[in-house]
Structure 1
Amino acid sequence: MLELNKYKAVTFDCYGTLINWEEGIITSIKPILQAHNVNLAEEQILENFAEFESELEQGEYITYREVLRGVVQKFGDRFKFHPTNDELNSLANSLQYWQPFPDTVAALKLLKQRYKLVIISNVDNDLFAFSAKHLQVEFDEIITAEQVKSYKPSLNNFRQAIERIGLPQEQILHIAASIYHDIVPAKSLGISTVWVNRRTGQQGSGASLPATAQADLEVPDLQTLLGTGYVS
Structure 2
Amino acid sequence: MTFDVVGTLIDFEGGITRCLEEIGREAGVAVDGEAALALYRAARYLPEAGLFPDDLERVYLEIAPRLRLPAEPAAGRRLRDSVRDWKAFPDSAEALARLSKRYRLIAMTNAQRWAFSHFSTELGEPFHAAFTTDDTGTEKPDPAFFEKVFAFVEAEGGSKDDILHVAQSQYHDIGISRRLGLANCWIERRHGLSGYGGTIEPQAFTQPDYHFTAMAALADAAERAEAA
Q: Which band: TM-score by shorter chain?
A: 0.7 to 0.9
* Distance across 2 between alignment mates of 1:79 and 1:220: 30
More off after superposition, 200-209 vs 26-35: 26-35
Q: Give, as a single letter, the amino acid of the residue that structure 2 aligns with 1:217.
A: Y
Which position in structure 2 is the counterpart of 1:88? Answer: 76
After TM superposition, the structure 1 = structure 2 runs for residues 74-223 of structure 1, keeping only pairs within 5 Å, are 74-76=62-64, 78=66, 83-166=71-154, 167-211=158-202, 212-223=205-216
Aligned with 1:73 (options 32, 48, 61): 61
Q: Percent identity?
A: 26
The C-alpha deviation readout for 1:78-135, integer Å capped at 9, x for no partner, is 5576622211111220011111111111111111111111000011111111111111
- Indicate the residue corresponding to 1:63 in structure 2: 51
Contact 1:57–1:151 (Cα < 8 Å) also in 2:
no
Alignment partner for residue 226 of structure 1, among 219, 224, 227?
Answer: 219
Offset of residue 193 of structure 1? 0.8
Aligned positions of 1:12-23 closer than 5 A: 12-23=3-14
Q: Is 1:48 aligned with 2:39? A: yes
Contact 1:109 1:137 in 2 (8 A): no
Contact 1:118–1:140 under 8 Å retained in 2: yes
TM-score when scaled to structure 2?
0.87
CA contact under 8 A between 2:61 and 2:72: conserved in structure 1? no
Name which structure has the greater RCO, CA cutoff 8 Å, separation 6+.
1
Structure 1 residue ranges without an equivalent (≥5): 1-9
| Contact 2:88/2:122 (<8 A) preserved | yes
Q: Distance in 2 between matches of 1:74 and 1:231?
A: 47
Q: CA deviation at 1:39?
A: 4.6
CA-to-partner distance for each residue in 1:156-208, whole Å, 9 max, x for gaps?
21111111222322110110111111111111111111100011111111110
Q: Is the 8 A contact 2:97 2:126 kept in 1?
A: no
User: In structure 2, what is the Cα distance between the partners aligned to 1:229 and 1:118?
Assistant: 16
2:113 partner letter: N
1:57–1:67 contact (8 Å) kept in structure 2? no
- TM-score in terms of structure 1 length: 0.86
Moved more, 25-34 or 109-118: 25-34
Q: What corresponds to 2:22 in structure 1? A: 31
Structure 2: stretches of 5+ with no match in the other structure: none
Aligned partners of 1:38, 1:116: CA distance in 2, in Å?
46
User: How many residues in Structure 1 have an aligned counterpart in Structure 2?
Assistant: 220
